[in-house]
Structure 1
Amino acid sequence: MSDFWVNLYKFPRFLINVLIGFFLTTFKPIFKLLENKNNRFIFTIILMIIMMLSYKIIYLMTGIE
């Protein structure tokens, strides 16, 4: 039974390591893409469009006036 508690105490550290690994492997190609100035501009424009669309969709879904 003591092995159970030892494993349970290790789980938060494991979860944090998995999340950090996920974000590192996800964002590394994006950071490599942003090294070029032309790609940085295009990425910024696309990100702004996604943010505006998300805002508009949530605004319309909630019916806030």
Structure 2
Amino acid sequence: MHIFWENIWKFPKFLISVFIGFFLTAAYPFFQLSKNRKIFYSLSLMIILFAGFIVITLKEMLGYT
């Protein structure tokens, strides 16, 4: 039973590592694009506009005003 609890305590570290690895792998192309200033600003603007669109859409759909 002691080994079972050791494995349970290791799981959160593993889960965090998986999420960080997934984020870094998925975001790597954007990090490469951000080396060029013009592309970086365009990409940042697109991300902000997309996030704003999602927030406004969810507020309207859920009735939060």
Same fold by TM-score greater than 0.5: yes
Post-superposition, which runs of at least 4 consecutive aligned residues in structure 1 deviate over 2 A? 62-65
The residue type paired with residue 38 of structure 1 is K
Structure 2 match to 1:42: 42
Hey, what does 1:11 align to over in structure 2?
11
Q: Distance in 2 between matches of 1:48 and 1:16?
A: 26
Aligned-residue identity in percent: 35
Q: CA deviation at 1:52?
A: 2.5
TM (norm. structure 2) is 0.76
In the alignment, is residue 60 of structure 1 matched against residue 60 of structure 2? yes
Q: CA RMSD in A?
A: 1.7
Deviation at 1:55, TM superposition (A): 2.4
Please list the CA deviations of residues 15-55 of structure 1 after superposition, one character each: whole Å capped at 9, or x if unmatched.
12112211221222211111111211221221132022112
Listed as ranges, the gaps of 5+ residues in structure 1 are none
How many residues align? The count is 65
Q: CA deviation at 1:63?
A: 2.3
Gaps (5+ residues) in structure 2? none
